[in-house]
Structures are given as C-alpha cells and as structure tokens.
Amino acid sequence: MILPKSPRLTPAQLAEVTAIVEPFGCSVQPIVGAIRTIYAIVGDERDELMINRIEGLDYIERFDRIQSPHKLMDARSDLASHRITFGGVTLGESLLVIAGQCTIDPKNPNFLYETAHAVKEAGANALRGGVWKPRTNPYSFQGDSKSLDILMEAHRRTGLPVDAEVMDETQLHLALDAGVHMLQIGARNALNYSLLRAIGRAVADRKTVVLLKRSLHMGPISEFISAAEYIVSFGNPNVLLCPRGTAPTLDGYRNHPDESITPLLKEKTWAPVVVDPSHSVGKAAYVPACALAAVAYGADGLCIEAHVQPSQGIGDDPKQALTPEVLATTITQARQLWALRRPSKVT
Amino acid sequence: MILPKSPRLTPAQLAEVTAIVEPFGCSVQPIVGAIRTIYAIVGDERDELMINRIEGLDYIERFDRIQSPHKLMDARSDLASHRITFGGVTLGESLLVIAGQCTIDPKNPNFLYETAHAVKEAGANALRGGVWKPRTNPYSFQGDSKSLDILMEAHRRTGLPVDAEVMDETQLHLALDAGVHMLQIGARNALNYSLLRAIGRAVADRKTVVLLKRSLHMGPISEFISAAEYIVSFGNPNVLLCPRGTAPTLDGYRNHPDESITPLLKEKTWAPVVVDPSHSVGKAAYVPACALAAVAYGADGLCIEAHVQPSQGIGDDPKQALTPEVLATTITQARQLWALRRPSKVT
Amino acid sequence: MILPKSPRLTPAQLAEVTAIVEPFGCSVQPIVGAIRTIYAIVGDERDELMINRIEGLDYIERFDRIQSPHKLMDARSDLASHRITFGGVTLGESLLVIAGQCTIDPKNPNFLYETAHAVKEAGANALRGGVWKPRTNPYSFQGDSKSLDILMEAHRRTGLPVDAEVMDETQLHLALDAGVHMLQIGARNALNYSLLRAIGRAVADRKTVVLLKRSLHMGPISEFISAAEYIVSFGNPNVLLCPRGTAPTLDGYRNHPDESITPLLKEKTWAPVVVDPSHSVGKAAYVPACALAAVAYGADGLCIEAHVQPSQGIGDDPKQALTPEVLATTITQARQLWALRRPSKVT
Amino acid sequence: MILPKSPRLTPAQLAEVTAIVEPFGCSVQPIVGAIRTIYAIVGDERDELMINRIEGLDYIERFDRIQSPHKLMDARSDLASHRITFGGVTLGESLLVIAGQCTIDPKNPNFLYETAHAVKEAGANALRGGVWKPRTNPYSFQGDSKSLDILMEAHRRTGLPVDAEVMDETQLHLALDAGVHMLQIGARNALNYSLLRAIGRAVADRKTVVLLKRSLHMGPISEFISAAEYIVSFGNPNVLLCPRGTAPTLDGYRNHPDESITPLLKEKTWAPVVVDPSHSVGKAAYVPACALAAVAYGADGLCIEAHVQPSQGIGDDPKQALTPEVLATTITQARQLWALRRPSKVT
C-alpha cells in the first residue's frame, strides 16, 4: 500500500512506480478516496529491494506492508501445527522451566552438580549452564571449554537435558559434538546472521532445540521472528523465542523487562515463547515477580538462573541466581498461575 | 557525593566547592582513594540549587545523591505506617479494584448505571467514570459537567464510591462539591504542579483519596514520588500511585506497559500502587494479562475500564473496556494470584 | 484504511464495519489484492470515536490513518502562508534567537537587567525570563510574581520583547496584563488541555506569540501539533513549536536531545520550529553544539539560557546558562550556518 | 563506592563486604556522613565479579563505579596521544569523509567504479562498498564475495582506500587477503565478542583501521568503548567509533539519530568519532542535515552512502544514497562548519 505526499500521483509518477514494481511481478492499483488516492501493490509485495526503491521516491510518504515477511514462522504457515517437546514437556501443554547457572565455574564443578540436582528437585525440566560467556569487559573471565565436560556430566548425573550458549562456529561444533540438547543464542548475537545460518545448517538434520534470545534493542517484532526464520529455513523447526529484557534500562532494572511482548509475538508466529526473567530484572529479589508476570502474559516457558550458593557463583550468579528454595516456590506459583489462566485464556 | 573529573580537586577548586555548600549548611569531606579522591557533602545535600551550582563547575564529573528527596513520601518517613482504606478495602490487606467507563456518555446515562451494577457484581470495590476527558484532538468530545450528576447517581444506586479525573481548578471544585470520593490526576497533568497544589490544598481537610497517574514519559521514579509529595505536603496522605503505561509505545501496544515499576516504587515509598492495565495496553484483549502481571509485580490495586456494551461506548471504551464477564474472570484470577503471592512475597 | 486479521472480511463483518462508519458519513470500499483484501474508509475518516470503534473489533488488525488530523496546523492548510514576526525577525527569513535567564532572582533584579543588555549585545532578538518555575521538588523555590515587574523593566531598558512561562490561568492573566509579548507553555504542561484552551481564548484577539514546548515524552509528532491546534483554533495563529529534549535521558544528558525532529515537524505543519538546546542537553558546555545541530536540522529559531554570572544564578542557570561571550559566539556561528544552509536547503 | 539501604552497615555486614573485596586486593573505608554512612572500595574496584558479588547482597542499594573500566581506550590512557591517519586525513586535524555504496551490485560493477570517481570528485577521502550485507530477511540478497574484486578494482582506479564490513572470520580473512584498508563492524555485530577478538588478532600486526559501529540499542557509553577495547587490546590502536542511529526508531526516522552522543564519547575516550548519518535517518532527503548536526556535535568524520544512480542501486541505496551533487554540497558545508567550529570549540 503506497501513500503519496500529494492527494494523488501524477501520470508520470504512476508510470515510474509501475516500472519499479513490474520486474518484481507486481502491479499498481489506485484506490480513489474522497480526499486522497492511495495505491495498492498487487502481487507479492515483500521484496525489500522493491520497497526500498519505492520509499526512495521523493513524492512517496510511506509504504505500508500488508503481508507478513515470514514464510515459515508466520502464525498461519504450515508449521503452525508443529509441536516442540523438550525435557519431557510439550510446549503449550504445560510450562517448561529451564534453570541453572549463568556461568559454570571450571574450578568448582561440584557447584554445578549440586545445582543440577537442586533445580531438578525444585521442578525444573532442563539445566542451563554457561560454558562460554559474552562479557562487556575484555579482561573478564570469558568461559572455558572444559566446562562443557562438567555440563555433560551434570546431565548424566541428573538426566536433565542441557542448554548452552554458543557464540561462534568453533563453540557451536564443540557443543554439538559433546551432545548438548539445546543451543542458546544470546542477545548480543541475536542478529549475527552468519552465526544464525551456521546454527541452522548444523542442526538441520538433528532434533536439537534452539533458544533464540531477543536482541538488546526493542526492534520491531518482525525482526525477532525473522532471526528465527534464518534458523528454521534450513529445516529444523525446533526454535523457541526468548525475551530477556532490553536495553537501555529505562526504570532501574538491569535491563528493561519485556515479558509483555509475549501476546504480540503469539499473534504473529506459532513459535513458543520462553521468557528469561533473570536477565530482564538482573537481581534475584525481583526475579519471582517477573517470572509470574511472564506467565500472566502467556509465556510457554521460563529460563531462570539458580545456584546452590549464589554468593559463591561467578559471572552474574552472585546477583541474579535464585537459591533452590526460592526457585521451588517460584516454579510452584508459576505452574499454579499457568493452570489458572488455562481455561479462560483471553490473549 | 562529588566526583571530580581529575584524580583530585586542587586547593582552589576545593575552596570554591566549599564556598558553594556552606551557605546551605553543608561541608565537604575528602575521601582519599588509591587512585582517585572523591568528596562527600556532609549535611542536608538535597537542595537543588546547591546541586545545580556544583554540577555547573566544569571540573566536576557528577554529583551522586545519597539522600532521598522525599520528606513525607519516603519509605522510611513517619507516614510509612499510614494505611489507606477505600471502597471497603484497606490497601495492602486485599486487592482494591476500581472499574468503570473511560467516558460517561451524557446522552445515555443508563449505560453507566448498568455498568456500575455489573462491575459491583463482578467484584469491583469502586466505580470510575470519566466526566471530563483530555483529548488529543481539540475537536473531539471533551466531556460534559452533566455527567457528574450521572456519576453520583450511579454511586447512589450501587453504594460504590466513585472516582473522576479533574483537569483544572473549576472541575476540581465541581467534583468535590458533588461529593466525588476519589480524584484522579491523569498522565497528561501528572507534572502540572499548579493543579497538584490546588488539589492538595482542596483535600487537605477531607478524606478524599487522590489517584495520581504516572506521567507519559519514563522519568526517574523520584519524579513520580515528588509529584505525590506536592499533594501530601498539604496534609492529606491518601494518595495512590498509578502506573498506566508510558509513551512512546515501544512494542506495539497503545502505551508501553510499566507495571514492572511496582517493586521499584515500593522500595522508595510507602504509598500503595494501583496499576491501570487498560491504558497500558489499550486493547481489551490484552487487559487481563496485564492486570495479572501487575499483581505478579506486587500491585495493591487495579483500575480497569469496563462497560456493559463496549461497542456502544464513547471515548476509549469501544477499544479498551472489558465486558462484565471478562472483568469478573479477571478480578477472580487477580485475587487468586494476590493470595498465592501473599505468604511468600519475595519482592 | 482497515486491515483485517484474516485474508478478507466475512459479509457479516463487512456489514458491522459499515454500520459503524455510516453514522460518521463514511462508507467502506474493499480493495481486492492477490492475497489479501483491505478496506478503504471513504469520507472524513478522522473521527477518533469511529476509529476506536473499528479498532475495538477483534477481527481487525489495524486502522491506518490516511488523513492529517490537523485542520489548521496541517502543512497544506490555509494558514500555510501565515508568517510570524517577533523581535524584528520574520520566522523563516532569518534565525530568531531568544535568550535569557531560566529563573529571575527577585532579590537580585540587576542580574536580569545586565543579562538583558548582554544578550541584546550578543545578538539575541528577545529576552526570556522565568517568573514562575515548575519544580520537581515541592520545597524548591517556585518563582515569584514580583519577578514580572523585573522582566517588564528589562524590556523597557532594552527594547527586547519578553517571553515568560505560565502554568495556570492566574499566571496567564497576570502575564498578559503586564504586557508580556510571548507566552511559553512548558514541557510539563504541553498536554494540559485546559491551559491550552485558556491561553488560546486569552490571546485570540491579540498578537501575542505562544511558544509551545514539546512534552517530556516522545509522543507521536501529530500529538505535538494537535496541542498547537488547540491554541490556534481560537483564532491566533502565532504559535511556535519548541523541541527541548525529552525524557528519559537515554545517553547521559539532562534530557534526550530531539532537535532531529525538526524536519519531520516541517513535513506535517507550517508552524516555525524554535529549538531549546539548553534544556535538551542541560549543561552549558554542550549547549553550543546542540544549538548548531538544531540549525543544521533546519530550526527557525533558538531559545537559549544565558546569564551574566551563571554561578550566581538560581534555578537551572548555574548549570545551563551560557556566559554572554559564549552566547555571542554561538549566535554568530548559528547565523553563519543558517546562511550556509539557505540556498541548498535539502530538507 | 557502596551505598547501603540502611543508614549504615552492621559490623557483620561490614565484615561480609570486606571478605568479598579482599581477595580482589581491595579494602573498605567507611565515610561517616551526618545522616548516612557510605563505603569506599579502596584499590582497583573494576573487577566485575567483585561488583556482582557486592550487588548481590540484599542490604546494598547500589555500587557506584568511580574508575573507568577501560585500560587502553580511556581518555587519560597512554594511547591518548595516538593519532590515526586514513585516506590522507589525520583524524582531529581535518574532517574525514568516507562515501560510497551500501551494497555493491556484482552484476553491475560499473556503478561502483563510477560512484568511486564521483565521491572522490565530491571530496571524499575513502570509498565504502558493501560486499556482504546483514539482511533482516533471510531470503534477501546477502552479498557476494565477487564484489570484493570489484571493490579493490575501484581502489586501483581511484587511489581511494576502501572500507568493507565483515560479519564472520571467513569474510574477515577474504577481506584482509584482498587488501581492504578499513574493516567495518556493523551494528548487529557490535557486541559479537568472538568477531571482535578475531578482528583484533588479525589486524594486530597491520595498520588496518577498524570502524566500529555502535550497537542498535542505546547501551551505556562504556559498553561501546569496551567493544573497542577488545580490538585494541591485541595491539592495533587504529579504531574509529561510529554512531549510526539506534533502534527503536522513536520519532519517525529509520533509526533514532544519535550524533549527539559524540561529546559524551569524547569525554571518556581518545578515539575519533565518525558518524554515519545515512543509517541514522535512513532517507536521502534527511542525510545532509544529519551530517551537519554530527559536525556540530564535534564528529571527526562522516561515513555517507552515495551512488551515481541511487534508484538503480541495491540494498539500502535506493532509499539512502545521496547523488554525487548532493554529496558534494554536503561535504563542502560540513567542512565549512568544521572550520567554523574549530577555533572556538566549546565541547
């Protein structure tokens, strides 16, 4: 849909627009209004280059997209009936909870083993453990490949499937070779299209689940979904969308809580939404409230940081990790709220 | 606390700072660090003019406030034990629900009467009804003083106390004379200090409750609390803080939902927090989720728009108002969640 | 323009939409596309109630406005050829500079007299002086009506027309009676529609110019222009739009500089844009850069705080006010840049 | 600097804090104020883990950093006297202009050759040309390695050094092997620490200049500088910081213009600032204004998209690219403004 700046296009302008859209298999249809004429682009109007060329015309006010740009991720695509199961939970049927440490301490593997048992006891379905960590400060601890063995050992001891963030192709292949069950793409790499493609290619023939965090900025929802489309386009549709707070911090939390985006995502895509309240608010005391708010907004799962002794943790754990006791209460309340919302779900 | 741009102040700079703070009854105390010396302002450091003068010095990097600027609203002030009761609910002891129409239609008073009965039936404790309305467009319906009679009649018919927004002194006195029980200050007037003072003065000797909406911008929390301090400074401490979504809209709602600010407010002030989910999300379908999220974050009350026939409403009602059925379910779930959160309240 | 959630409306839905728009004198025209049908609202589609009723339908995705909501302020209205002259400057023909104190100190009137002479010398066309001041803290100095006499005396001594902010009807009439030449509406009252109407009514038969600051939040541009429409609708078209930085502060300034909004305003309205760099950046050292950036973006004028002895000023002056020397350089450079941009103006 | 929630720490709390900081070589020094005691951390307080552990204590309100986290990038580091020269321009001594196409069209190499001659003629010092492009839509053209040859041929024909964005290690080595003079890191990879390290390592022993774009979100300034610290820590200090607009778009441009961050960057770091007005505003008509605003704020350089026939370009060029004529005027005006600001530079 094109809106010109003037009440209508001149014949020469209309000819110019037509010449732009025809090579893309589209045509222009004027819609004569009482005051202003606007112009529908009939055909597949999703080509970015065509849109850019029209927006580049100085007599055009704006181009309003009518079609969804997502072939596979769209709420009405053939994949809409696809169901993802992880940690024994079918997303959408009950609440998935992933819990564990922000960062594994390679010098103290027992912390992760104990945390793994504790989060299982508290009701979590899967274990997260940071092997490599994106750090603002180049001189901070950046993680250690040895922690991958610790993570897999925690899996063997508890039976919980494990989730690890990967930041480049080397880490990706180390993680897959070790047998990690869920690959996490962090907020800083959420639009790293080279990595998204590498992951899509690598998991194409596997059942590995990919947890895609939202980028740090509040981009349009379609940009978030397009990042998932990159992965799914290679063939594996097991992708979960994870809002985790955005920057800048607008009110006083570590990030700006964004669980409220959940219903808006669910209108556009069939992909399940798993919210990370720990990074959203960034402080253990606020995490339970944020986790419940996510469930209130319709989240299908939660990804929560927990540690048997938060003050002895590394990375973000001393600030953010819940103790097993608080985690257990949070999971219980979250599941109660999930059940409460079920029959009368409005959104 | 002062941080200079250089590792330490020169003696001349220190003398200049001292000369600024002494007339305000303060002194300067250097704190010698290994790398940098910083300077504490000892005394009451809250005078804005003193702070502005120090920040105006080109060798000062920043002034960090240590003290709360709120004498009465601070969480540790003498008012911290004050309890507000409205509509039969003592705030903090159970969840207050205010519900009703965005805008009263003076040509169809029965809609409000029916809505009043319906929200009472659904479990609401008080009735809201917009008599005068701030409208972006100067040519839109701006409300009508006649609706004040309709609002009071709805009170008489149901026994529910009533809440009305006032936008200037004329409306303020009309509303008080009519016997309105709660005065609402809208987001657009949240920093209209002349109006805040006029209201503070007018309710000083009454028990009227004031519902202060948050301004449209995400200003610092202390600014929101300072607006309440304006009112309370005249003597009536019955003020409720109402987050209602901020602008710009960042994700696709009418406003940007801000119920997550609740725990941050509660750390700074004793005042109860009553969230308005209707204006936050701006569309009926999203309101129940937002209402529950507010309770998840610890809100003491909710202010929700409802109408017996939303599509026949005026103002925002066709878009935002819940039907009585959805309102009833929302109130029930909100009270269940409120109860659930009670014993284990973390935040 | 209506977009349904489904590929097309059912006959029953189309009938419902038609029944909503007909009472507003509009009709619905389907535009059949290859994949999706959309619906034009033919007629005057600007009534907010009609839009709200359509957006309230659960099968409607969105309503895209085609028409400008501004009858008088629109760039194509009859007022587009109106020229405003103030302080000897016809806006659009050369750069208007208003300069002076944030807050007049009633105990030290000589500061304003000296500042008035100094800003005139530096090249300013008008004098600003805060008589009453909106203050976050209720216990800070709020201004004093006596300062009105000081301001008018400064006018008499220098011949410069004067600008003062008014925050309520009492102040409005005091200012007009005293003979103030420009009324300023501050950011906190930018959407105080009662005040906007009162000012519009009061200046309807005068030549008084109104400087309308932008609200603290980044609302849509049309909201800013609508606020001006309130004033102009009473008959006096002498309104200037003043971006002054928004909140929250996103990068480290006092507010978030928003001079870049200028070209966007100029596409929608004929009203001149006068930028306030002082409140945008909030620190004297950054003001000249922001002032020049405003001119780069096409501003028609600047409103700058200056003081003969900033450190002795009150209100924001110790932080923000330029010395006469820096003001003079800034005005000179701003006018050079204005001239430079003139012949090749792209935006 | 630690602020407790209570007026002072208990002896047990003080002991706990001390036990946390001592392993990091720090000690705690109380600063007794009239109303509240705060606590200085004496020693190197920059370790993130130490900060996280203190912030994790529930009796701590906040930790205020006093020291810059940047060893090499800090405005007061030994590198502060380092000068970067590129395209014959020493940054800081005159304005660097990089201009060229967003995306090279591998099917039409002549466009780039002609554009290269045209931007040189217009006064640019270097040529940009997108070989590979990050695209929101996975089905859009993603660039082509063949374009690298075209870019190098354009260099040979004009003598202009060339700038290309790389998004992964494969592209990085292709670009370096081909002899590209400036590597660009795009906004989407601005916090891709694996890529930052790979680039830092690869250019450690070369003179290659790295243009680091700001991330899409408005993170704290120190985060932007830390990303540069990653690169410089390997030994090559030739890094330029490039604000290019942030997301979300807040006012109606493609991104939110952020040239105003320039003076704030220059207070914290010695690195030159090169602003990209093309992506900031996203439409050719607004680019000249934004370019001049950047110079007003003190930018050391500009990176502008230009094309001999914008409407025939691919990628963003049809929307954003300037024609050679407009580019020439913009460069001339920018250099005039740069000269104007020089002697009296306030910021």
pLDDT at position B347: 40
Average pLDDT over every residue of D302-306: 98
Does the pLDDT of residue A344 top 70, yes or no?
Answer: no
pLDDT at position D346: 41
- In this structure, of A79-93, B30-44, C96-110, C282-296, the range with the lowest mean pLDDT score is B30-44
**pLDDT tens, position by position, D250-299:** 888 999 999 999 999 999 999 999 999 999 999 999 999 999 999 999 99
Average pLDDT over every residue of C214-226: 94
Question: Which residues of D are less than 8 Å from C260 in CB distance?
Answer: 251, 253, 257, 281, 289-290, 293
Choose the closest CB to B34 out of D3, D33, D42.
D42
- CA B327 to chain D, closest CA, distance in angstroms equals 33
Interface of C with B in 147-206 (CB under 8 A): 167-169, 171, 188-189, 191-195, 197
Strands C182-185 and C162-165: parallel
Minimum Cα–Cα distance from C250: chain D residue: D218
Question: Which residues of B are less than 8 Å from A289 in CB distance?
Answer: 260, 262-263, 296-298, 346-347
Minimum Cα–Cα distance from B261: chain A residue: A251
Question: Which residues of D are less than 8 Å from C221 in CB distance?
Answer: 251-252
Question: Which residues of A are less than 8 Å from B347 in CB distance?
Answer: 285-286, 288-289
Minimum Cα–Cα distance from C4: chain A residue: A66
Q: How confident is the model at residue B343 (pLDDT cuts 50, 70, 90)?
A: low
Question: Which residues of B are less than 8 Å from A298 in CB distance?
Answer: 289
Q: How confident is the model at residue D322 (pLDDT cuts 50, 70, 90)?
A: very high
Share above pLDDT 90 across residues of chain A, in percent, rounded to a whole number: 81
Average pLDDT over every residue of D164-171: 97
Distance separating alpha carbons of residues B72 and B50, to the nearest angstrom: 21
Question: Which residues of B are less than 8 Å from A252 in CB distance?
Answer: 221, 261, 264
Check CB contact of D288 with chain C, cutoff 8 Å: yes
Cβ-Cβ contacts under 8 Å between A and B: the total is 107
In this complex, do A296 and B296 lie within 8 Å of one another by their Cβ atoms? yes
In this complex, do C192 and B188 lie within 8 Å of one another by their Cβ atoms? yes
In this complex, do C55 and B217 lie within 8 Å of one another by their Cβ atoms? no
Distance separating alpha carbons of residues A328 and A112, to the nearest angstrom: 17
Question: Which residues of A are less than 8 Å from D217 in CB distance?
Answer: 215-218, 246-248
Cβ-Cβ contacts under 8 Å between C and D: the total is 107
pLDDT at position B344: 47
Reduced to 3 states, what is the DSSP secondary structure of residue D217?
A: coil
- CA C269 to chain A, closest CA, distance in angstroms equals 13
Choose the closest CB to B66 out of D29, D33, D44.
D33
Does the pLDDT of residue C1 top 60, yes or no?
Answer: yes
Distance separating alpha carbons of residues D86 and B245, to the nearest angstrom: 48
**pLDDT tens, position by position, A269-301:** 999 999 999 999 999 999 999 999 999 999 999
Check CB contact of C15 with chain A, cutoff 8 Å: no
**CA torsion, ordered B2, B6, B8, B11, to nearest 10 deg:** -100
Question: Which residues of A are less than 8 Å from B282 in CB distance?
Answer: none
pLDDT at position C64: 82
Average pLDDT over every residue of B319-326: 97
pLDDT at position B192: 97
A partners (3+ CB pairs within 8 A) are B, C, D
pLDDT at position B346: 41
Contact D285, D254 (CB under 8 A): no
Dihedral of alpha carbons A295, A297, A300, A301, sign: negative
Choose the closest CB to A293 out of B253, B296, B336.
B296
C partners (3+ CB pairs within 8 A) are A, B, D
Reduced to 3 states, what is the DSSP secondary structure of residue C1?
A: coil
Choose the closest CB to D67 out of B36, B40, B44.
B36
Note the ipTM here: 0.93
Average pLDDT over every residue of A79-106: 97
pLDDT at position A81: 95
Cis peptide leading into residue A23 (ω within 30°)? no
Does the pLDDT of residue B197 top 60, yes or no?
Answer: yes
For A171-233, give the secondary structure using H, E and C.
Answer: HHHHHHHHCCCEEEECHHHCCCHHHHHHHHHHHCCCCCEEEEECCCCCCCHHHHHHHHHHHHC
pLDDT at position C346: 41
**pLDDT tens, position by position, C72-86:** 999 999 999 999 999
- CA D339 to chain A, closest CA, distance in angstroms equals 32
Q: How many CB atoms lie within 10 A of CB B131?
A: 26
CB under 8 A, 24+ apart: contacts of C62-65: C62/C2, C62/C3, C63/C1, C63/C2, C63/C3, C64/A1, C64/A64, C64/C1, C64/C2, C64/C3, C65/C1
In this complex, do C29 and A31 lie within 8 Å of one another by their Cβ atoms? yes
pLDDT at position D178: 97
In this complex, do D48 and A192 lie within 8 Å of one another by their Cβ atoms? no
> How far, CA to CA in Å, does C126 sit from each of C25, C86, C163?
48, 8, 7
Choose the closest CB to A229 out of D138, D191, D283.
D138
Average pLDDT over every residue of B34-46: 81
Q: Which of B144, B143, B137, B140 is nearest to C230 (CA)?
A: B137
In this complex, do D226 and A142 lie within 8 Å of one another by their Cβ atoms? no
Q: How confident is the model at residue A65 (pLDDT cuts 50, 70, 90)?
A: confident
* Cβ-proximal residues to A22 (8 Å cutoff; 6+ apart), any chain: none
Choose the closest CB to A219 out of D46, D248, D315.
D248
In this complex, do D311 and A53 lie within 8 Å of one another by their Cβ atoms? yes
Choose the closest CB to B66 out of D36, D43, D248.
D36
Distance separating alpha carbons of residues B187 and B194, to the nearest angstrom: 15
- Burial class for D253, CB neighbours closer than 10 Å (0-12, 13-18, 19+): buried
Share above pLDDT 70 across residues of chain B, in percent, rounded to a whole number: 98
What single string gives the DSSP state of each residue in B246-259? BSS-SSSSSSB--G
Does the pLDDT of residue B34 top 70, yes or no?
Answer: no
Minimum Cα–Cα distance from D247: chain B residue: B250
pLDDT at position C197: 97
Q: How confident is the model at residue D47 (pLDDT cuts 50, 70, 90)?
A: confident
Q: How confident is the model at residue C344 (pLDDT cuts 50, 70, 90)?
A: very low
**pLDDT tens, position by position, A116-167:** 999 999 999 999 999 999 998 898 888 999 999 999 999 999 999 999 999 9
Question: Which residues of D are less than 8 Å from B36 in CB distance?
Answer: 66-67
Question: Which residues of C are less than 8 Å from A67 in CB distance?
Answer: 35-36
pLDDT at position A34: 67
Distance separating alpha carbons of residues D90 and C254, to the nearest angstrom: 33
Strands D37-42 and D27-32: antiparallel
Average pLDDT over every residue of D301-307: 98
Averaged pLDDT score across all residues of chain D: 93
Q: Which of B293, B286, B294 is nearest to B319 (CA)?
A: B286
Q: Which of A252, A193, A194 is nearest to A223 (CA)?
A: A193
A250 DSSP assignment: S
Does the pLDDT of residue C36 top 90, yes or no?
Answer: no
Question: Which residues of C are less than 8 Å from D333 in CB distance?
Answer: 340-341, 344
Q: How confident is the model at residue A345 (pLDDT cuts 50, 70, 90)?
A: very low
Interface of A with D in 29-48 (CB under 8 A): 46-48
Q: Which of A218, A222, A246, A251 is best to mutate for the B interface (most B CBs within 10 A)?
A: A251
Share above pLDDT 90 across residues of chain C, in percent, rounded to a whole number: 81
Q: How confident is the model at residue D119 (pLDDT cuts 50, 70, 90)?
A: very high
